[in-house]
Amino acid sequence: MNTIATRPSPSRHRLYEWIGYAVAVGCLVWVLHDFHVRRAIQEMSDVTWDWVALGIALDVFSYVVQGLRWKFLLSPFGRVKAKNAIRAVFVGLFANVLFPLRPGEPLRAYVLGNSEGIGFVTVFGSVLVERLIDLVVTTAGLAVMALFVPYPEQFRHVASGLGIATLALLAAFVALIIYIELRFAGDPRRMHGGRRMPGKLMSALIGLHAMGTSPSFYPAVLTSILMPFCQLLAIWSMMKAYGIGLPIVAVAVVLLVINLGVSLPNAPANVGSYQFFCVLGLSIFVAVGRDTAKSFSFFAWWMLTLPVALLGLYAALRSGLSIRTMREQMQRLPGEVSAGREPAA
């Protein structure tokens, strides 16, 4: 009822933004320390552009796959059009390029929910399920890669901690689905005290149960494996273009490190954090010099970010959004959802 009371504090939001910018600056300072510009320019002049084009195409296709996965997850709630899901994904990516703290996740949920007539809470819940699936796939990938690549001791500890946290989240998700299925015949509304349960929480429970028990959940999981595979081939192609001859297993480790590093909210377009974690991942392998790793981190970031940003701009314009309306909607979403209302179109 009191919308103002539930709205996030503007000063706190600005604080988070400044923290994100500070982290980005710190990462860039670390990467640019002893950075040899002339050597980087020389390396970039020797790039094989056919491999670059292939890498860009594979990276873009990975986000098309993400849109298809989203369609599968939302199948229990209606016949979601693949083109609308893919367009919303690129709108969210464009927002993440322009604004800090990764606001594209709720924005793409709003865009797709508005075009398909599905409640925002349900659509945003599917985004959270996506993130959980991605975390499981990434953690499993780290575990598999550990069989082939000797990780540094500190990195191994971080990977172990991440694995434990992921297993705990996955166990909680599965346990909730099974509990609702067995105890309440698959209907969360039969839960004791359901009438006193907040509407948003009830909607979230119904949505999670529907997605987790739907037959379309299995193709969603399969596409969740195809998506990082396309990204793996994309970064491998970029390395081939740059003359970095790492085996595909080593490239997978680098990609996993980058994806983990940029998964948290940070500066626009992951600037700084992408370069830092790319260099960090490449530093595991002595075959890649530190200077080459630094220059490649900027090259790969630029080549993989610009095409997605342009496609995201096109998707935003097709969705009737301008930069101004995107900003206004992102500022409005947290307050309206916290107040228990569906976002206005």
User: What is the per-residue pLDDT across 214-238, written as a single tens digit (0 to 9) for each?
Assistant: 889 889 989 999 999 999 999 999 9
- For the ranges 30-44, 75-89, 296-310, the lowest mean pLDDT is seen at 30-44
pLDDT at 158 over 80: no
pTM: 0.85
Condensed to tens digits (0 to 9), the pLDDT of residues 98-131 reads: 998 888 999 999 999 999 998 888 898 899 889 8
CA distance 242 to 139: 28
Condensed to tens digits (0 to 9), the pLDDT of residues 59-102 reads: 999 999 999 999 999 998 889 999 999 999 999 999 999 998 88
Q: 290 or 150, which is more confident?
A: 290
Q: 97 or 136, which is more confident?
A: 97
Percent of the chain with pLDDT over 90: 43
Q: 344 or 64, which is more confident?
A: 64
- pLDDT for the residue numbered 1: 33
- pLDDT for the residue numbered 31: 94
User: In the predicted model, what is the mean pLDDT of residues 239-249?
Assistant: 93
User: In the predicted model, what is the mean pLDDT of residues 270-294?
Assistant: 90
Residue partners of 280: CB distance under 8 A and separation at least 6: 257, 261
pLDDT tier at 194, thresholds 50, 70, 90: very low
- pLDDT for the residue numbered 60: 98
CA distance 131 to 97: 19
Name the most confidently modeled range: 196-200, 246-250, 331-335.
246-250
Nearest alpha-carbon partner for 177 in 134, 211, 140: 211
DSSP state of 259: H
Is residue 244 classed as helix, strand or coil in its secondary structure? coil
Q: 108 or 140, which is more confident?
A: 108
- pLDDT for the residue numbered 5: 36
Please give the structure tokens belonging to residue 259. Answer: 């994806």
- pLDDT for the residue numbered 338: 54
- pLDDT for the residue numbered 86: 97
Whole-number mean pLDDT of the chain?
84
- pLDDT for the residue numbered 188: 57
User: In the predicted model, what is the mean pLDDT of residues 292-308?
Assistant: 96
For 41-50, which contacts have Cβ atoms below 8 Å and span 24 or more sequence positions? Answer: 43/242, 43/243, 43/292, 43/295, 43/296, 43/299, 44/295, 44/299, 46/243, 47/241, 47/242, 47/299, 48/240, 48/241, 48/243, 49/241, 50/241
CA distance 191 to 206: 11
pLDDT tier at 210, thresholds 50, 70, 90: confident
Residue partners of 13: CB distance under 8 A and separation at least 6: 101
Q: Contact, 189 vs 202, CB < 8 A?
A: yes
pLDDT at 6 over 70: no
- pLDDT for the residue numbered 135: 84
Q: 241 or 180, which is more confident?
A: 241
For 184-189, which contacts have Cβ atoms below 8 Å and span 24 or more sequence positions? Answer: 186/213
Q: 298 or 261, which is more confident?
A: 298
Percent of the chain with pLDDT over 70: 85
